[in-house]
Structure 1
Amino acid sequence: MSTALRERLEALGDAFWLRPAILVFLGLLLGEGAVWAEQSDWARSLLPANWLYAGGEAGARALLGAIATSTIGVAGTVFSITVAALSLASGQMGPRLLRNFVRDPGNQVALGVFLGSFVYALVVLRTVRSVDEGTFVPHLGVTGALVLALFCVATLTWFVHHIASGINVETVIGTVHAELKEAVDRLTLDRPDPAPPGPAPAGQGIAGEEGGYLRALDEEALADWAAERGATLNILVRPGDYIFRGVPVAEVSPPELVEEATEQVRSALSLGDRRAAAQDLEFAVRQLAEVAVRALSPGINDPFTAIAVLDRFGNVLCGMRDRHLPGGVILRDGRAALFHRVADYDGLLDAMFHMIRQNGSGSAAVLLRLMEVLGAVLVVEQAAERRAGLRRHADLCLAAGRQSLGERDAVEDLETRFSALARIS
């Protein structure tokens, strides 16, 4: 899947209205289809006669009106519950995690089911005619409305369970953890990229036209353009960075191609008001870290949530043992066509552990668990440069404990775990 397509699909996932709108449209089509089927001679044989609604015009209108009124009322209740859940999640786990609740298909589909049933009932209701109007009772359509009403009851029961479990912090951590693992699998490689033939040459700067977060970058298209022109591009930003208007985002060599390169680079940048996970490996990392940092705030003081986040980080790092991060160069015919900034292992470790260690420096449980997680990753990680990064964070964890922990026993426990870690490394 191309980078641009993936970024657009992710943007569609942020549109809360999309699935409800599709279900409303399906309700409209289903209502029209039920009326058409009622008017067709063969359609009445689709169901046994005793399964169909057998009442008259007055009963059909009353029943369809009751279904329409109740479903639109419950739709408002579902929306209110969703807003309340968003407010609770924003206060306890961070406003950036609202994205996960907005993108949740369950919340969108539940709202869409009630709105679609409401539209279906209205479409069928408008066709009911009395004797004076030329009697017509859509028995098949009324039966379908009854089925949808029962389905709405089941949907409401499921939705209450879904929203109650969805705001559970362990569920939220598990969801973001799964997103992080998926990002690692998608954005890392089975084998390492070739080493760059040399440093990026100095070139003419290309400034950003607009400000915003870089959501995606089409590196392959830029590398193809540079190869065709015999040029070299050096991209100075990476997905997740905030681009300031007028600040250089790339350099091109030779400088004579700067005008054409400016157009190519700006068209390859996808900017937005928020970061996106399509190419940003640190996006889900920072979401999880925010949950831990908020849990360690004095107002919440929940070290168990921070420990749960550390466990997920350790699991992700152990899973990266045989994975390689992309290199910072794209070759075309053996020549470096594009240099670009990429996430590195030390940067991931910093995003995972710095803020948790700094905010949890007064909690012996958090520092002890951090040291244990680092030790567990060191057991499986064999790359020398990665092991050095893990040892660096172990040193920082020990220094924070010695400075901030008031209990001597807690410091001794931390030093014991550090000694065990040192023996591993």
Structure 2
Amino acid sequence: MILALRKYISRLPEKIWFRAMLFSVGAIAAAAAAEWVGPMIPYEADLELASGSVGDILTILASSMLAVIAFSVSIMVSAYGSATNTATPRTIALMLADDRSQNALSTFLGTFLFSIVGIIGLSAGYYDDRGRVILFFATIAVIVIITGTLINWIQQLSTFGRMNDLIGRVEQATSKALRWHGEHPFLATQPPVEIPEKARPVRCDIASGVVTSVDMKRLEETAEKHGVTVYLAIHPGKLVYPARPLLYLSGGDADAVDPQPFRDAILVEHDRSFAQDPRFGLVVLSEIASRALSPAVNDPGTAISVLDSGLRCFEVYAQACSSPEEPRYVRVHGPEIDMADLFTDFFIKIARDGAGIVEVQQRIQLCLLALARSWPDIFSAAASDASRNALARALEAIVYKPDIKDLKERSQRVVDSRPT
């Protein structure tokens, strides 16, 4: 429950309603504070015309912002639908967390509420002459903010929800997760070792779901408290069910330890997330490519763009692996990312759906060659297996002999790059 609450709080900035609420509260406070700030002015301001016209300005703002909010919401909903139909529904979470669209919608809503509160205050005689002057200058400041937000929002609308925008968002989220795992191998714990035969399994006590987060600090503290060693059997993104062990306990009086605190350190939810699960990002990228390669769409260019994005993601991981941080937790042995699984999630699925498209198969072999030659210790083994797999699929679908010969030569270069 604590881990779920902490994750919920950490996700609040990604919620549209949360940022809109903050902007709205700030706008209402600004409009209400004008009367309190007025008496602090040490002189009489000679701005009767300006302060008298503030009501008209606020009325214009209120009516225009209501229209802008309705327009913006319709545009965002349309973009979400377009992303679902052209890419994959899994990209919606990244679009909902977009900072610029949230800031725009929140600013528009905050301006609307600022105007409404200001109009109500003026109609009720809440402001004196000084308060009206302060409200006038606050309105001018709001107009400046709205102008900048509108310019930024118009620029955002030119790319929001487009294919390149969606691929870029998924690439950024995937690269972030892969970079963290490269810098913190084994989830910042000790390397995996063989689990003792008498180690006690701790199984999932709820319905099946997906591991989205592991609180390593809490696992370490609980293990230290009971004098046991923890062997994690799962990784973020793994499907768990009541019969599957989450971890194993060994040492001390492991059989008498209450397993619930260890279970509470592992958050199981219904849907995967990009945060600690790099495989999910690669799966989403491959889904975009698969949709593009479907007969109904037939867009190999998008699949090639996805392959280039995936290549950059793996490069980020390799660069992060070159300078890993020291393990933070000594009583926990974490799992290792299987590079073969990552390549299967990404390259093999695209190779399957693009088996008969020569340019896609060529780009797959080129990306595998780039990884195998640039970082052979990390990628060469998995790249060789993926290259053979992709070639086998292509040979069943491509009949033109020069293309077959070219793909065989490309695949052989990938295989030859594997250290002997």
The question of a shared fold, defined as TM-score above 0.5 by the shorter chain, is answered with yes
Partner AA of 1:232 in structure 2: T
- Is 1:411 the counterpart of 2:386 in the alignment? no
The answer to whether the Cα contact below 8 Å between 2:196 and 2:250 also exists between their aligned partners in 1 is no
Q: How many residues align?
A: 411
Shift of 1:27: 0.5
The answer to whether the Cα contact below 8 Å between 2:222 and 2:262 also exists between their aligned partners in 1 is no
Alignment of 1:54-93 (within 5 A): 54-55=49-50, 57=52, 59-93=53-87
1:189 corresponds in structure 2 to 183
Identity %: 21
Q: CA RMSD in A?
A: 3.3
Counterpart Cα distance in 2 of 1:66 and 1:158? 21
Counterpart Cα distance in 2 of 1:53 and 1:392? 79
The answer to whether the Cα contact below 8 Å between 1:285 and 1:351 also exists between their aligned partners in 2 is yes
Unaligned runs of 5+ in 2: none
Unaligned runs of 5+ in 1: none
The answer to whether the Cα contact below 8 Å between 1:206 and 1:248 also exists between their aligned partners in 2 is yes
Counterpart Cα distance in 2 of 1:204 and 1:110? 52
State the SS of the aligned residue for 1:270. Answer: strand
Counterpart Cα distance in 1 of 2:312 and 2:237? 23
State TM-score, norm by structure 2: 0.86
Counterpart Cα distance in 2 of 1:56 and 1:316? 56
Equivalent of residue 246 in structure 2, options 235, 245, 249: 249
Counterpart Cα distance in 2 of 1:97 and 1:215? 17
The answer to whether the Cα contact below 8 Å between 2:58 and 2:116 also exists between their aligned partners in 1 is yes
- Is 1:353 the counterpart of 2:347 in the alignment? yes
Shift of 1:94: 0.6
Counterpart Cα distance in 2 of 1:16 and 1:187? 29
Counterpart Cα distance in 2 of 1:406 and 1:44? 88
1:28 corresponds in structure 2 to 28
1:199 corresponds in structure 2 to 195
State the SS of the aligned residue for 2:122. Answer: coil
State the SS of the aligned residue for 1:239. Answer: coil
Shift of the 410–134 alpha-carbon distance from structure 1 to 2, 3 Å rule, reads closer
> Which is worse superposed, 178-187 or 101-110?
178-187
Counterpart Cα distance in 2 of 1:38 and 1:124? 14
2:260 corresponds in structure 1 to 263
Alignment of 1:236-385 (within 5 A): 236-245=233-242, 247-253=244-250, 257-258=254-255, 260-321=257-318, 323-324=320-321, 332=330, 337-383=331-377
State the SS of the aligned residue for 1:416. Answer: helix
Q: For residues 67-93 of structure 1, give each alpha carbon's deviation from its aligned partner in whole angstroms, at most 9, with x where no partner exists.
A: 212212211211111111111111111
- Is 1:396 the counterpart of 2:389 in the alignment? yes
Partner AA of 1:108 in structure 2: Q
State TM-score, norm by structure 1: 0.85
Counterpart Cα distance in 2 of 1:55 and 1:221? 59
Counterpart Cα distance in 2 of 1:134 and 1:155? 28
2:205 corresponds in structure 1 to 209
Shift of 1:379: 1.6
Shift of the 114–389 alpha-carbon distance from structure 1 to 2, 3 Å rule, reads same
> Which is worse superposed, 180-189 or 78-87?
180-189
Shift of the 123–420 alpha-carbon distance from structure 1 to 2, 3 Å rule, reads same
Equivalent of residue 174 in structure 2, options 180, 188, 191: 180
Counterpart Cα distance in 2 of 1:101 and 1:187? 24
Counterpart Cα distance in 2 of 1:351 and 1:260? 38
